[in-house]
Structure 1
């Protein structure tokens, strides 16, 4: 069964940019496109019954799809207008997709479908990658010379799905992968500054971090020999290093491992930070 690339649309400029991004990606990968709009019946609109409201919603979605189909006549497109809760419907749509693509606004709160707990639920519960696209996104940003930047952390097993997504995307675009591994000194060095000399005598932690990144990339280099790869290891905050690198990226790929707390499910600080501040589209990939 071929899974589609699914775009969630709500009529906003951000979601239309996400639809355009999803259509281009579907064409590159030879996959169908599924367009999903989630709506709720508004009883306050006394002059419009359920069927009338559904007709309004459906026509708006069809208009957006006509525009995309005009740009990509070869693209297979399916449309679903779902009356349901946005979080539940989108998480369900993601489970059946290669990826779910949504719009986000500016460099602050994620809006559109992603408002407060709805957005948190979609990103943390989606079984497949979720890509966030800003209204300002344009095809020119995918030009040659811009890398697909991916954050690598932990062991090769920890980052396998994140690297898989980055390499598959780069291969489809004819782009290079820039793999970034950021590291900080273990807390012990804050309590024992003298141990820094021992660290220097042994060559420091940088060689260890470089080897860890090389080991994680090795199977993906072998699987995608045509994808150029740049390795970047820096000491510093992972979020800050990724954001600086993403300034000239066509896509930033990060992993996420949902953490359940007393006030609800939360994503990690790195994914949270880049979602709010990265200038390019961001793909959030769940770890296995």
Structure 2
């Protein structure tokens, strides 16, 4: 894997915030930043479509302006930019990202519907990208540094903990000097609902203790690998999605996993990642795993 970060830009406020966020991350890691715009026939809505040269000129200017802005914000950062065409922008960016450490894009691009936290493009890319993908909102460029008390929130499935996802979250917390808040949501046995959620306290305590032990076991080896990272273990009743959303609103980064799938049909994001992307305002990293 090459040592650079990739940011997708399209001229929208979200993509500008994504480029700024990615620039801070590139400086933090000491790697170059590559800005990429995936061209489509919808480019440059203010251009005259009967004048192809006008369309190309506006697109080129947008990329150039974004590059100069980032260079002005982060002096000394190596920034490269390019236009890539030739197909579906999701496939183009996913392919371009294969040799990068991380792909960063805006949560919604031009043409996104108001009120949606993440647009269809972001969701499709999250389900396709083979490197960690971070989706950034328009107001998230102020979040790149981890202020005192900031957390990296990790959603974890204790029955099937994904090492790639956990390792990514620990590394990001270490880089930021942030607390790692590991969250696991668990659902009581169905019979509890049938009984009106009335059950002996000893049973509730036993189930809670088992779930907490599973969470601790899933993190033990990673605590040893990253001894300087302060970890908060948070095991709570409820869905995994709601647990991550509830704790992630003030995080500097929220980390969820996405299982790689060999086929291109069907749902490519799990229910937790899908819900977190739609309902979390913090930057969200979707990390693929086997």
- 1:259 is displaced (CA, Å) by 7.0
Q: Distance in 2 between matches of 1:10 and 1:285?
A: 23
Counting matched residue pairs gives: 280
Unaligned runs of 5+ in 1: none
Partner Cα distance (1:259, 1:15) in 2? 27
- How far apart in 1 are the matches of 2:140 and 2:106? 10
1:184-223 → structure 2 map (5 Å cutoff): 184-187=187-190, 189-190=192-193, 196-197=199-200, 200=202, 203-223=205-225
| SS of structure 2 residue aligned to 1:153 | coil
Q: CA RMSD, aligned part only? A: 2.8
Question: In the alignment, does 2:111 pair up with 1:108?
Answer: no
Cα separation, partners in 2 of 1:86 and 1:195, compared to 1, 3 Å: same
Extract unaligned runs of 5+ from structure 2.
109-113
Give the CA deviation at 1:190: 4.7
- In structure 2, C-alpha distance between the alignment counterparts of 1:55 and 1:202, rounded to whole Å: 65
1:284 corresponds to which of 283, 286, 289: 286
Residue equivalent to 2:165: 162
Is 2:49–2:55's contact at 8 Å kept on the other side of the alignment?
no
Please state if 1:150 is matched with 2:182. Answer: no
Inter-partner Cα distance in structure 2 for 1:127 and 1:188: 40
Work out whether residues 259 and 268 of structure 1, in 8 Å CA contact, stay in contact via their aligned partners in 2.
no
Verify the 8 A CA contact 1:41 1:83 in the aligned structure 2.
no
The whole-number CA distance in structure 2 between the counterparts of 1:129 and 1:206 is 32
- After superposition, the Cα gap between the structure-2 partners of 1:168 and 1:263, relative to the gap in structure 1 and judged at 3 Å, is closer
TM-score (norm 1): 0.87
Distance 1:139 1:64 in 2: 17
**Partner SS, residue 252 of structure 2:** strand
CA separation in 2, counterparts of 1:151 and 1:140?
Answer: 20
1:180 and 2:183 correspond: yes
Q: Give the Cα–Cα distance (whole angstroms) in 1 for the partners of residues 42 and 157 of structure 2.
A: 45
